[in-house]
Amino acid sequence: MLVERSITDAARQLADIGMRVAESSGSRAFLFDCHALHLNLLRNAGTFENAPYHVNEVLRLFPDARDCPNRAAAAGLALYFAWSLAMNEQKDALYAMLSEGPWEGNDYVTQCAHMSMIQEFTTDYPEGIAWADKGLRYVSEQGNPNCLDAATLYKAKALFCALCGRTEEAEDSIANYKRIIRDWYDGVDFIELAQINQYLGIAFYQTGEYEKSLPYSYESLNAFRKTYPGDAVIIEHTLNNIGNTYYRMKRYPEAIRYNKEAFDMHRRLHKVPNLQLAALMTNLGCVLRDSGKAEAALELFEEALEIASPLADRDHICIAEISMNLGLLYLQGGDPLRAKPFFETAIPVFDKNYGPEHMKTRLAKSKLESVQSVQTPQSSV
């Protein structure tokens, strides 16, 4: 792993040299490739150093990079960082560029992969599966179903099937991913295996099999910590997954420990508030609320809403999740009047994103009905 980090450092130095050469030569296409390479290295390292600069440069140089073989990949990487760093204007422009194209050949497959993976931010997991399936159909139609691009698409599909609780499909996608990688490399990379274990942990979490979920998550966490000795996004995500699992098991001290560790790491990694920070605050607030620390939970929920409100529309799922939890907290504290508008905000968003029969939608509706019944007592006959 020390060798891997040395290779990454050497690649970053070469990218810096390439950028200086591109700037002196005036080749905007070459400069575009150098910025794309920097973003790729940052993504692999799980860090954000100078990422906003590279995102803006990819956007600026995009029109001059029509013949660059990595054009779609660069747009996808820039979109990931723009979304992570709450660069909303850049995010919207890059999302439109990547989703609309038009892309052909290998660029189309790359488009499908990045459009699939970005749905982790939008939380539209069925859309993530749909984009992965589009790419897989294309490589199959081209007679190349076992290419490395197919492995990437299977990996993305595995994640979103796991997040949707479709465990069998997730396991099937993982098996296909491993098969292709073994054919190409005669084995599966240490970090790739850790990510796959993380997906299996998510899959069992989504189906309520928490005892099965934890070993996979811990195995992933140990592997990631050996590879990334400091803070890294992938470690933050794994800590949060473990915290959420303990929360569902009602083991609140462990849940607080891991959710807070994820929250603190995110703040160290990101200097600018973003929606993921608001989501992490909401997770931690839920644990504090259910463990009897109502005042601390209220502070976190209110700060999360303050962060999320300027970054997302009122019908964004993040706003709905925070609103739902504020409503539950006020109701728990005996203040149904203050709870009511938060349930009213959450219900239509849950209905749209989760469906009317989802447990969150049904819970929000039942809580609103209970509040309304308190406000409007039945008249006596």
Identify the CATH homologous superfamily for domain 270-372: Tetratricopeptide repeat domain (1.25.40.10)
Specify the pLDDT at position 375.
65
pLDDT per residue as tens digits for the range 207-234: 889 999 999 999 999 989 988 878 988 8
Angle at Cα 262 formed by Cα 257 and Cα 263, nearest 5°?
95
Specify the pLDDT at position 2.
37
Domain ranges, ordered by start, for the chain? 1-101, 270-372
pLDDT per residue as tens digits for the range 297-340: 999 999 999 999 998 888 888 999 999 999 999 999 999 999 99
C-alpha to C-alpha distances, 88 to 92, 125, 316, 322, nearest whole angstrom: 6, 21, 14, 20
CA-CA distance, 195 to 190, in Å (whole number)? 9
pLDDT per residue as tens digits for the range 181-211: 888 877 666 777 788 888 888 888 888 899 9
CA-CA distance, 46 to 236, in Å (whole number)? 10
| CA nearest to 362, candidates 350, 344, 349 | 350
For 27-36, 53-62, 239-248, 280-289, which range has the lowest pLDDT when averaged over its residues? Answer: 27-36
Specify the pLDDT at position 5.
46
Q: Which residue has the tokens 């139609």?
A: 141
CA-CA distance, 245 to 239, in Å (whole number)? 10
| CA nearest to 106, candidates 77, 65, 146, 147 | 147
> Average of pLDDT values for 156-165?
88
Dig out the tokens for 107 from the structure. 């660029």
pLDDT per residue as tens digits for the range 6-47: 444 545 556 666 666 656 665 788 888 888 888 988 887 777
Dig out the tokens for 180 from the structure. 């292709």
The dihedral sign for the CA sequence 154, 156, 161, 167: positive
How large a percentage of the chain has pLDDT more than 90? 54
Angle at Cα 78 formed by Cα 276 and Cα 139, nearest 5°?
105
> Average of pLDDT values for 150-166?
90
CA-CA distance, 92 to 99, in Å (whole number)? 11
Q: Is the pLDDT of residue 344 over 50?
A: yes
Torsion of CA 97, 100, 104, 106, to 10 degrees: 60
Quick one: fold of 1-101? 1.25.40
| Of 381 and 124, more confident | 124
User: Is the fold of 1-101 the same as that of 270-372?
Assistant: yes
DSSP-assigned states of every residue in 122-146:
HT-HHHHHHHHHHHHHHHHHTT-TT
> Average of pLDDT values for 348-374?
88
Specify the pLDDT at position 20.
64
Specify the pLDDT at position 18.
61
pLDDT per residue as tens digits for the range 63-88: 988 888 889 999 999 999 998 888 88
Specify the pLDDT at position 101.
80
| CA nearest to 153, candidates 133, 168, 167, 123 | 133
- Look up the pTM and report it: 0.68
> Average of pLDDT values for 90-106?
91
The helix (H) or strand (E) run that includes residue 256 is helix 252-269
| Of 260 and 186, more confident | 260
Torsion of CA 199, 205, 209, 215, to 10 degrees: 50
Q: Is the pLDDT of residue 145 over 60?
A: yes
